[in-house]
Amino acid sequence: MRVTAAPGLQVPKEGRPRAYITEAATVDVPDTAYYRRLVACGDLVEPDSAKTAAKSTKKGGE
């Protein structure tokens, strides 16, 4: 699964607490409970879902 950190956050990688996922780059991570939980709470964002959400928000706001 491909993810990026939410704006302003640095999220530690699973098993590597001193290595961080940032908003600067999209990273491939395994589809584990750790990363799914971070996506669910909003700390990590899947780029495809972010684009879809932005499009639906834009259409609704017009």
With 0.85 as the threshold, say if the pTM is over it. Answer: no
Q: For the chain, what are the domain ranges?
A: 2-61
Specify whether the CB–CB gap between 2 and 47 falls below 8 A.
Answer: yes
* CB count in 10 Å sphere of residue 16: 8
- Taking only the tens place, the pLDDT of each residue in 6-25 is 999 999 999 999 999 999 99
- Taking only the tens place, the pLDDT of each residue in 29-43 is 999 999 999 999 999
